[in-house]
Structure 1
Amino acid sequence: MALQWMILAYVVAAEASVAILLTLPYPKPLKSRFVSLISLILQPALFIIPFAGFQLLDIYWKNEHRLMCSGEVCTAAERDRYEKSIYKAQRNAILCTAACLLYWCIYRICKYYNELQRMEEVEKRHKDQ
């Protein structure tokens, strides 16, 4: 299971860096090439949405079937282990949510830029006529 979370963490880091790079100001030719490259990568990278969704379902299932450690029956070590597992589950849920949200942000940024380019071309054609 740790490998899945490591992969998801790397994907989130890559998505965050791509989102930052997309929002930086570049010269127009460089920006259009970069956006077109990212647009080509977006469709194969869609695998992250079902992957993160499956991981969220796994977190939910484990949370529902986790043994509760409350009261005076638990030792301090058992209570610490229980709290640590709760914190890990919360961290992993935030990681899954961030992966989906960052993918959506990158998709929308690319779509807005492509729409903006198309509108500029239409405006340029109208000015030429």
Structure 2
Amino acid sequence: MALQWLVLSYVVAAEAAVAILVTLPTPKLLRDRLVSFVSLILQPALFIVPFAGFQLVDIYWKNEHRLMCKGDVCTASERDRYEKSIYKSQRNVVLCVAACFLYWSIYRICKYQKDLKSLEEVEKRYKSK
């Protein structure tokens, strides 16, 4: 199970780095090439959305079927283990949501940049007439 979360955390880190790279102010030629490269990567990287969704469903199922450790029947170590598992689940939910949100934001930024480029080309054509 830990391997899935490690992969998801690396993907979120990579998405964050790409989002930063795409939003940095760069020269027009470099920005256009970077956006076109990221746009090519976006379609194969779509696997992260159903993967994160499956992980969210898994977290929900485990939360519904988790043994409750409240009251006097639990020892201190069992209560600590229970609380630790709750915190890990919350962290993993944030990781899944961040993966989906970063993918969506990178997609929208690239789409916005492409639309801006096409509008600049249309403007250039009208000015040349």
Tell me the TM-score normalized by structure 2: 0.99
Secondary structure, counterpart of 2:68 in structure 1: coil
Q: Once superposed, which parts of structure 1, at least 4 consecutive aligned residues long, lie more than 2 Å away?
A: none
Show the counterpart of 1:61: 61
Show the counterpart of 2:72: 72
Show the counterpart of 1:99: 99
Q: What is the 5 A alignment of 1:34-49? A: 34-49=34-49
Whole-angstrom CA distance in 1 between matches of 2:23 and 2:70: 48
1:84 is displaced (CA, Å) by: 0.2
Unmatched segments (≥5 aa) in structure 1? none
Show the counterpart of 1:125: 125
Does residue 32 (structure 1) correspond to residue 48 (structure 2)? The answer is: no
Q: Percent of pairs identical after alignment? A: 75
Whole-angstrom CA distance in 2 between matches of 1:29 and 1:78: 58
Show the counterpart of 2:89: 89
Count the aligned residue pairs: 129
Q: CA RMSD in A?
A: 0.3
1:78 is displaced (CA, Å) by: 0.4
**Amino acid aligned to 1:83:** E
Tell me the TM-score normalized by structure 1: 0.99
